[in-house]
Structure 1
Amino acid sequence: MSINKLLSPTNGKNSYIIGAEWGQGRTAFGGATAAVMCHLVTQQPSPERNMISFSVTFCAPVTVESEIEIEVEALRRGKTLEQYSVRAMQDGELRAHAIAVFAGTVNSAIKISAETAPLRPNDIAIPEQRLAVGLNPRFEANFDYRFYKGGPLYSGSTDREHLVGISFKKPPSNRGLAHLVCLMDACPPTPAQQLSEYHPLSTVVWNMHFLPCAKHFDLAQGIIMSSYGEVGIDGAHYLNERVWSHAGLPLAFSTQSVMIFG
């Protein structure tokens, strides 16, 4: 199942099926769930408004090869801002919930430029790598990974940072924020590289913030993503992330709260 097929509703409206190719065990890759939620909500406002924030709470696992229904509710449509609630329902239960915020362009006396991507080795010098050592979830086959800093999951690295190049194995024929969301979540949770064997982990809350250019960037070469593990206490880990196009154009920022068990 290609990324474009993943983002195609089964009923032409708001029901989706996440194929086994986007799974990790019996459950769906979180980036796939977030992507279908993002895909539907971005169709609600007028095209000139940009999504500036997308905050997802993963409430329960989504089962692959089983229909999920995405419900979108407009919370407010103002002159400048629009807010929407997005719910992913499966078997009558809430599996994920998101709040999406869109904004129009306004004049501002302050402008702060984002940093360009850090220097990194040429991709030719960095071989493609697997997402994890000793564990290879099915969704991994959809992506190409290049670790410029840090290592794969469960590699026993002492780093608390990642700098990773991520791209689709088969670049999609079209593009949008949903494709970017899917790429962003393919980056492994940074703290888990310090483990030397498999431990269950789960993203609980994921807050994304997008620059206006994010919905137009060229997906062919993928993204560069940095991730830094700020702190981890009692199994709860907090990550700060920055995302650039392959050419170094700033696209997005995000934070994640991740639980690592055991």
Structure 2
Amino acid sequence: MNFDQLLLEWRTNQGADTVPAGWTQGRATFGGLVAAMLHENMSAEVAQDSSLRSLTLSFVAPVDTDVVQSSAEILRAGRSVTQVQGHLRQGDVITLAGLASFGRGRESSILVNGPIAPEYAPPEECTALPYIEGIVPEFTQKFEYRIARGQLPFSGTEEKQLGGWVRFKDGSDGIAGIGHLLALIDAWPPATLPMLKTPAPASSLTWTVEFMEPLPKQRADDWWQYLAEVEQAEDGYAVIQARLWDTDGKLVSLSRQMVTIFG
């Protein structure tokens, strides 16, 4: 089942979904996948002409491959902005909590362009991120990666940046939507992992991601440009900001995560 089919299933089965096999990340499920699942439930509460502007998530407990109960409620619906709260649960445990801000566009005299895309070599000239069973998360087999900046995980580098090209292997038969973009911008390993000299786990604690409208008319299995930078790290926690651009260099999304490090 590809990612498009999963999105369709979640839209159809609002409230009770099954986490598919093949998307694990250590003892949990890939964060971009469960974020997309929760977004499907939250967006169903909002008018179709209102776009997701910002999503803040707290990863409360690991999500395993079992039935997930999802819920969403509108906190406030104004003329332009609707605020929605959502949760994923497994049994009696809240596993993921989210706050989303959806907003309609309006005229404004303020226009500030976002960060420009990095100048990367073409994907075919960049190093592929290899899959090594037992070291690299299972879900990464759903994506293709080409490293254009930074080093491989666990190489002991002092570089604070990691980025390159990413795309779904079999994720889309059409234009990428919010669910695809949540997965794409979260697909890369944390930019702290290349700093480690030996394999060690890391996981997201909190995540805030914003989207730039209008979204590009690009497929999820086309190449997307990604760049992350470690802004600060200490005491086993790190703050990582990241950006996603389309193939033409249009800024699509801004991301900031608090990551836990066990090494």
Query: How would you bin the TM-score normalised by the shorter chain?
Result: over 0.9
1:12 pairs with 2:13: yes
Say whether the 8 Å CA contact 1:133–1:154 is kept in structure 2. no
- How many residue pairs get aligned? The number is 261
Q: Pick closer, same or farther for the CA change 1:131–1:257 going to 2, 3 Å.
A: farther
Comparing 51-60 with 19-28, which one deviates more in the overlay? 19-28
1:13 CA displacement: 2.0
1:130: which partner in 2? 130
Kindly provide the CA deviation profile for residues 85-139 of structure 1, in whole angstroms up to 9, marking residues without a partner as x: 0101111210000001011112222111123311110112124222679712210
CA contact 2:172–2:219 (8 Å) conserved in 1: no
Q: Normalising by the residue count of structure 1, what TM-score does the alignment of the two structures yield?
A: 0.93
Encode CA deviations 1:168-220: one digit per residue, 9 max, x unaligned.
Answer: 01141243101110111111110111112121211000000101123744323
Contact 1:10 1:17 in 2 (8 A): no
CA drift of 1:50 comes to 1.2
Contact 1:132–1:152 (CA<8 Å) still a contact in 2?
A: no
Q: 1:29 to 1:45 in 2, by over 3 A?
A: same
Amino acid at match of 1:239: I
User: Does structure 1 conserve the Cα–Cα contact (< 8 Å) formed by 2:216 and 2:246?
Assistant: no
Aligned to 2:230: 229
Q: 1:10 to 1:113 in 2, by over 3 A?
A: closer
The residue aligned with 2:69 is: 69
Instruction: Detail structure 1 runs of 4+ shifted over 4 Å in the superposition.
Output: 131-134
Q: Structure 1 stretch 191-200 or stretch 48-57: which is displaced more? A: 191-200
In 1: Cα distance, 2:216 partner to 2:42 partner? 14
Aligned-residue identity in percent: 25
From the superposition, tell whether residues 201 and 84 of structure 1 become closer, same or farther in structure 2 (CA, over 3 Å). same
Residue aligning to 1:84: 84
CA RMSD of aligned residues (A): 1.9
Q: Which residue in 2 is equivalent to 1:33?
A: 34
Query: In 2, distance between residues paired with 1:229 and 1:14?
Result: 36
Task: Specify the code of the residue in structure 1 equivalent to 2:162.
Answer: H
Which structure 1 segments of 5+ residues have no match?
A: none
Distance 1:9 1:50, change over 3 A: closer
Residue 34 of structure 2 aligns to a residue whose secondary structure is helix
Asked if structure 2 preserves the Cα contact closer than 8 Å seen for 1:131 and 1:152, the reply is no
Letter in 2 for 1:173: D
Q: Distance in 2 between matches of 1:10 and 1:223?
A: 25
Residue 52 of structure 1 aligns to a residue whose secondary structure is strand
Q: In the TM superposition, what are the counterparts of 1:1-262 in structure 2 within 5 Å?
A: 1-7=1-7, 8-9=9-10, 12-64=13-65, 66-130=66-130, 135-174=135-174, 175-214=176-215, 216-262=217-263
Q: Secondary structure at the match of 2:206?
A: strand
Change (3 A) 1:216 1:78: farther
TM-score by length of 2: 0.93
Shift of 1:24: 2.4
